Chains A and B, each alone.
Chain A
Amino acid sequence: MLKITDLHASINGTEILKGLNLEIKAGEIHAIMGPNGAGKSTLASVLAGKEDYEVTSGAITFEDQDLLEMSIEERAREGVFLAFQYPVEIPGVSNVNFLKTAMNEIREHKGMPALSAKDFLRLVKEKSALVDLDASLASRAVNEGFSGGEKKRNEIFQMAMLEPKLAVLDETDSGLDIDALRIVAGGVNTLKSANNATLVITHYQRLLDHIIPDFVHVLYDGKIVKTGGKELALELEEKGYDWIKSVE
């Protein structure tokens, strides 16, 4: 599904990713862990197409297409979803209206007819229940006045509505209490299928108690320096990132 080959990316002339390789197949959950400044969020931003980052060399293919050639919105329409680390508040734009627009743009891209109002509302009801998001939040302005936990649940709600092929969760666990963490993880697990894949970017092991990864990668200084199974996360938690640095 996703293949990243020797990816180099920089921001304002500073190189952050320095030859990253990663392959994700349908049905898999991958976790990327690493210390602050390793390039975790840069990777998420580059996948989503954020223009502040410049890819200087390397390649990313998604479903056999050149992802780097696609605009931000084309990537989303093709099925790449980024759950934001810091969800944006957009006053005056209603959550429901924005989602309806997004869904219909994606459907149009796939040659599908627009959703009827009735079908859309049924989906809103069904999917917001999945992450325990109050239906009244769905009709408010995007993230405006939402608590930290509500913002993250709103991200997973959007993911549930848009049904992406590849979901990239950028530190979705940051700022969540235990209950919210469980709800968010539950949502992600429910949405998982043999046809989609999830990339979980996290600083801590605790999210991986709830979302069990097939592979854990350690990102350090712009490269993946170690790959293992879910037990690698526990080992990291125990030994700290200094252990990886010393392995380097």
Chain B
Amino acid sequence: MSGTLIDFCKQLEPTALKLPASLLQAARDGVEFQHHFPTTREEPWKYTRLGRVAALKLTPVKINQSAERLAASETIDIIFEQETWHCAEPTAGLHINFSADLDASAWNACTLQGHVQHINALSAQGGVAIRVDANTKLIKPLRIIHRLQGAHTGLILHHQLILGNHASAQVEVFFEGTSEDSYANVLFDFFIGAGANLHTDMLQQTKGTHYGFHTQRIYQQKDSTVALQTLTAHTHFTRNEVEVFSQEEGTHTQLYGAFIGRENNHIDNHTYVHHTAPNCTSDENYKGVLADKATGVFNGKVKVYQDAQKINAYQSNKNILLSDLATINAKPELEIYADDVKCSHGSTTGQLDQHALFFLRARGISETKATDMLIKGFMAEIVGAVKSSHIQEALHALLD
């Protein structure tokens, strides 16, 4: 069976996820209401056109529910490759299942925001449900790999990670492989218990004319800490949506991102931090480097609700354009309804520092190497925040 994405939404029996009827209806209405695909007249899609995505002819990837076992390694691996998913033996206090096991009660806290999430809710073919018991500190990182291949595939996954109270985990997420005229819509729901700690590094580096849509929704309870690094390199088309719900006091959230585009790459990062509880901090830092005719979008929104006093929210976006034809559309947004908060935001876009380039060359370093060094230096803050050694290595290889 093949068809367009909208054909999927209409034809598929969408209940791989046990969505509450109200959410399902909301998703249906959302897709219908937006006449299937939003246009650039709608603010969240002003700089990202979906015409090509709407026209894709796709065959859905149906994941077999039972996992192939992977041998133990330094990381606890979960690999999605075509119809198969592979999974390592979980360690104590860790539970890994296919999405039929998704904790439906967690859904009650969710709302669906926008096109990408609607499509996901209607058509997700499954996903992995990970639960870390309270007080369990995972020693090995969890590594989730999406290996894309073939052409005209439609991969729609909904993952869920639940960290119990005072649990901690390090997660590495990869999107890799080569795929043509294909679509992926992969959503993560992170439910972070009180006092829990999550560190996630995500690297997107799929080759080919692949259209990748990624959503990370993070729900944080009291005194929890989350650091999420979103790294996108040389992808044809990527849309990232990160949404943080700071629901109780004392949460810390770090959202870092780096995007590197060339040729006709289009990389779009949308973030939305909801501060609904007092005494919380969020720190956002996104950096982009765009060459050739690449385009980038950064839209970061922080909303501080009326009762959320003593919030410390910091947001920064810096971009370097390496060519006259590269474009960035940056929009930092702050919406504040409380009166005792400290918030800052800023965005800058420029070219490579010509004085620094001259200095390095005047010490004997070739122009190409000097340019690479400056880009690496520019990205150092973000790369330094990455804990995953696999991703560190991949980034060094990309930036060298």
Residues of chain A having any CB pair with chain B under 8 Å: 48-51, 71-73, 75-77, 81-82, 84, 87-88, 90-93, 97-99, 101-103, 105-106, 109, 141, 158, 162
Contacts and interface: CB of A to CB of B under 8 A. Distances in A.
Among B358, B367, B374, B376: residue with most chain A CB under 10 A: B358
A73 B381 CA distance: 28
A109 B374 CA distance: 22
B373 A88 contact: no
Among B360, B364, B367, B370: residue with most chain A CB under 10 A: B364
A101 B373 contact: yes
B363 interface: yes
A38 to B, nearest CB: 22
B359 to A, nearest CB: 5
Among A48, A49, A71, A93: residue with most chain B CB under 10 A: A93
B364 A88 contact: no
A109 B359 contact: no
Given A93-B377, A105-B369, A98 B362 contact: no
Interface string B88-111: 000000000000000000000000
A143 to B, nearest CB: 9
B366 interface: yes
Contacts of A82: 362
Contact of A88 (B356, B365, B379): B356
Contact of A98 (B353, B363, B367, B380): B363
Given A84-B359, A88-B355, A88-B359, A98 B373 contact: yes
A92 to B, nearest CB: 3
Given A101-B373, A105-B366, A90 B358 contact: no
A91 B380 CA distance: 8
Interface of B: 353, 355-356, 358-367, 369-370, 373-374, 376-381
B363 A162 contact: yes
A246 B76 CA distance: 82
19 contacts: A48-B358, A51-B358, A72-B361, A73-B361, A73-B365, A75-B362, A76-B362, A77-B364, A82-B362, A88-B356, A90-B356, A93-B374, A98-B360, A101-B369, A102-B363, A103-B364, A105-B364, A105-B369, A158-B363
Given A90-B356, A92-B378, A102 B364 contact: yes
B79 to A, nearest CB: 33
A93 to B, nearest CB: 4
Nearest to B369: A101
A99 B364 CA distance: 10
A44 to B, nearest CB: 10
Chain A at the B interface: SS class: helix
Contact of B377 (A81, A84, A105, A141): A141
B260 to A, nearest CB: 15
A89 B347 CA distance: 21
B381 to A, nearest CB: 7
Contacts of B366: 73, 105
Contacts of B355: 88
A93 B373 contact: yes
Contacts of A73: 361-362, 364-367, 370
Contact of B358 (A72, A77, A81): A72
Contact of B364 (A50, A84, A92, A162): A162
Given A73-B367, A101-B369, A105-B369, A90 B377 contact: yes
Given A73-B367, A76-B362, A102-B364, 17 more contacts: A48-B358, A72-B362, A72-B367, A76-B361, A76-B363, A88-B353, A90-B356, A90-B359, A90-B374, A91-B378, A92-B376, A92-B377, A93-B373, A97-B373, A98-B363, A101-B365, A105-B366
A91 B377 contact: yes
Contacts of B381: 92
Contacts of A98: 360, 363, 365, 373
A93 B376 contact: yes
Given A90-B374, A92-B378, A92-B380, A102 B365 contact: yes
Contacts of A158: 363
Nearest to A87: B359
A77 B363 CA distance: 8
Nearest to B383: A92
Contacts of A72: 358, 361-362, 367
Contacts of B378: 91-92
A71 B368 CA distance: 13
A87 B362 CA distance: 12
Nearest to A89: B356
Contacts of A106: 364
Contacts of A91: 377-378, 380
B204 to A, nearest CB: 22
A216 to B, nearest CB: 26
A181 B379 CA distance: 36
Closest 6 pairs (CB-CB, A-B): A92-B377, A92-B380, A76-B364, A93-B377, A72-B361, A102-B363
B198 to A, nearest CB: 26
